[in-house]
Structures are given as structure tokens and as C-alpha cells.
Structure 1
């Protein structure tokens, strides 16, 4: 309750008065362990770590004249990281590496927050007054890279199977055929099938780090009007060239045999 001991128009809990902030005591609690012996557990296993490099070019338009760029904050975001593994039939070794390299498809974008100064209307011939603004844009990228070796073999997916079967049936031929003759075949009015589906573990990625080198250049810079400082100017369009480098870890949930002590 609050310091008055009731709930009126004010909050029932006045954390600024009654909440205690200080040192709390603790006691170590022994963990509950699995019995000793060999166990099979499902764990994320690292298949490979890759440093991927790509180059980007983008045209960026500002909604207002830009006097100068103050800062650019960047963040790489991956929205798709898909390892394409060929399947194997049931009964085959799923950890046998493919005969050919496998491809990793990566898709994402670089989020850029551009802080810039735009001139205000009260600038004079001696000085330029400006306001700080920001523009956030996404520069997309998409690429495919080839993986030729793995730290741990991936578990390849098993093929789903579907098999049809029929039953023999003898049918009368009807009018115009000898009575002793019959149609020997299967019954087209029936359909029989056996199917099996495998729910395989899909490899996934984690983003470890990124490195960006960029070069931005204005392509429409013009001097300020009304004889304002001659060396000053504004622009609204830039061309950006970017070298992008990032590291991804490829993982897959696999069953691993461990020994519990």
C-alpha cells in the first residue's frame, strides 16, 4: 500500500517510498543432475562459420536539401539464411557429405540512420543556420555462396515416399463377348497408397559480426542562393558504394551422444 495505508486517487503502491533497493542474500542450490552414464541429447551443432563478402551500390534521395552529413549509424540485418542440402533415401547415411558443394542463400539489408544538417531560412551571407534531421533507409542485398567443407557434417533430409498398390479383379466383359471370357485387371474404382513423411531438422544461422566500408558522394550539389557563403552548398541525392563483410554461424539441431559424469 502507499504511505497513507489506503488506495485513493493515488497509486496503491508508491515505489519511491516503500520499494526496497539493497543487497539481497543468496544461498547456492545444488542442481538436479541426470544419472551418470551415456546419454543422447539434442543440441545445436555448429556446421560451419563463414565470413561473407559483398559489394553494394545504392542511390539515396533526401526529402530536403542537405548542407552536410553529420553521422551515419549502420546495422546489418539478415532476413533469410538458407542452406540447401540434397536429400537422401530412407536407410542411407544422412551424414554422408554430398558429392557436389552446397549453396547458402543469404538475404538481408543494411539499416542506415543518416543524421544531417539542413539550412534554415534565416541564414545570412556570413553564416548558415541549420537544423538537424535524420533519414532512415534500408539498403537490401541478396547473394548465394558455396560451401565446400563443414566443421561438422550436416544431417541431410530424408525423402518422403509414396507408393501405390492394387488388387487383382476379374470382371465380366458383358454383352458381345463369350460367357467364359473375363476382364482380368485391377479395379479402377479403388485407389490404395502407402506414404511416409519425414520432419527433418532445418539448418539455421546466427549473425556473429559485421564490417562495413562505405563511400558516399553527392551528385547534385549546388551553391546556396542569395550570395551566401560561397563555399557552402546543398544536395538531395547521393550515390553510395559499400563493401559489406559479415560472419554467420550455420547450426543444426542434432542428436549427440555424451557421457554424463
Structure 2
């Protein structure tokens, strides 16, 4: 019995040894490592203090607009027209005082319809039609602060002699180019005033009601005044440069 137990223990030990040797290969490693050098930086002569929108100009443009509108169904009268002005483009052309403007007037038209009538009454529903009436124009600004715009200079190129000093080398060339990025001049719609006249056309009289008629088309003549503000984000610089705290100054503040 003792020999049998010894053999079993030896077998278990050998199995454990074989299991411990059966390990997966470790694939972790450092792929790459390098030291990053410091880039030298410089500051501008005038230190920028803050960046704010600067008003380039504020002007009012007059737009004369005439539109012909068709309702979804015949009406006996227009109850109300709610108008909202939206701009889709407002662009100052650099180097000029011309501003291109485009947009539309959203009109929600409420009107009364006629379902039935008699000698003393007309019955119907209140319905609405919503339309977008487009407009576009270009205007010249009379008073304007010049925006800060810096054009890009053309690239410069240096050519060298070839090996025999007989012409330009096709193997070597030096070039210099610079890109300057400018803040875009943008618009804000300050206010919109609309003066209008509505003229009904193609009206049909109602036989049993005096001075009552139905119509589906009408013409709107509008004079629109748009007050627009041109702005550009600009840096404001101060004469004195800000003090950069050192590590020791920071430590003193922490101790306090």
C-alpha cells in the first residue's frame, strides 16, 4: 500500500510540473520610445489683451418687393398676415464697400373661406397658407470702418546653376511661402420693418350678398427696411506685457 501511494503522489507531481510549463507567450513589449525636443517660441511685440467683435458698419438697406400669392382655396377676406424676415446671405466683398444680401420673408396668411351662404349670412372656416417670398439685392455702404484684412503674398522661389553653370538646375530649388488667415466679416440682422399694400385680383362677386366676393390670388407690394450690423473679431493689444509667474512664485502662493 505504501508503494502505491508513493507512485500516485509522484504521478500527481509530474502532472503539476507539466501544467506549470505549459504557459502562453508574453507578447507585451515597448514598441518605440524617443525623446521630444523643445520647440522655440516667440511672442509678438504687442501682446494681445483680448479678442472681441468690432463693429465695422451699421446700415439700413431698402428693398422694394412685389409678389403674387395664390391661396390654397378661395377666400372672402384675409384676417391676418404674420411676417418674419430671414437672411440666407450677407457678404461684404473684400476691398469694396459692396454688401450682397439675400433672404426671404416668411408669411403666414390667415383667411376666411366660404362653405355656404344665404341672403343674410356667410359661413366658412379660418384657414392659413404659409409661403416664403425670396429677395436679393446689393448695397453700397457709405460709412464703414476698414476691416483688418491681410492678403497673402505670392510664393518666392530661388533657382540655382546646374553642375556646369550653363543654366538652371532641375535638381535643386528653394521656395518660401506664407499663409495669413483673416477673421471673416459677418452680419447681424438688427431689425426689419415692412410696409405693404395688398391688392386683390380675379375676385368673384357673391350673388346674394352685396359687396361680398371671393378671391384666390392677390398681389403684395412691400417696402422692406433691413438694419444690418457688420462685425469682425479683432485682437485688442495693450502696451504692457503680462508677467509670467515663475515656479517659485507659484510655490509662495501655495504656502500662503
- Taking structure 2 as the reference length, the TM-score comes to 0.69
Partner of 2:149: 156
Aligned to 2:191: 209
Does structure 2 retain, via aligned residues, the 8 Å contact 1:85–1:157? no
Equivalent residues in 2 for 1:114-133 (5 A)?
A: 114-120=109-115, 122-133=116-127
Q: Matches of 1:59 and 1:192 in 2, distance apart?
A: 64
Matched residue of 1:209: which SS?
A: strand
Counterpart of 2:132 in structure 1 is 138
Decide whether aligned partners of structure 1 residues 167 and 67 sit closer, same or farther in structure 2, where only a CA change above 3 A counts.
same
CA shift in 2, pair 1:132/1:41, >3 Å: same
Matched, 1:112 2:107: yes
- In structure 1, list runs of 5 or more residues that go unmatched: 1-37, 87-100, 172-182
Residue from 177, 187, 198 that aligns with 2:180: 198
How far does the alpha carbon of each residue in 1:20-56 deviate from its partner, in whole angstroms, 9 at most, with x for none?
xxxxxxxxxxxxxxxxxx8611100111110111100
RMSD: 2.4
Q: Does the alignment pair 1:239 with 2:230?
A: no
Residues 1:168 and 2:161 are matched in the alignment: yes
Question: Which has more radius of gyration?
Answer: 2
1:79 aligns with 2:88: yes
Tell me the number of residue pairs that the alignment of Structure 1 and Structure 2 aligns: 194
Distance 1:123 1:84, change over 3 A: same
TM-score where L is the length of structure 1? 0.67
Q: Which residue number in structure 1 is paired with residue 18 of structure 2?
A: none
> In the TM superposition, what is the alpha-carbon distance from 1:81 to its structure 2 partner?
1.0
**Larger % of helix: which?**
2
* Structure 2 residues without counterparts, runs of 5 or longer: 1-46, 241-256
- Tell me: CA distance 1:128–1:149, structure 2 relative to 1, closer, same or farther (3 Å): same
- Provide the rounded CA distance (Å) in 2 between the counterparts of 1:163 and 1:238: 63
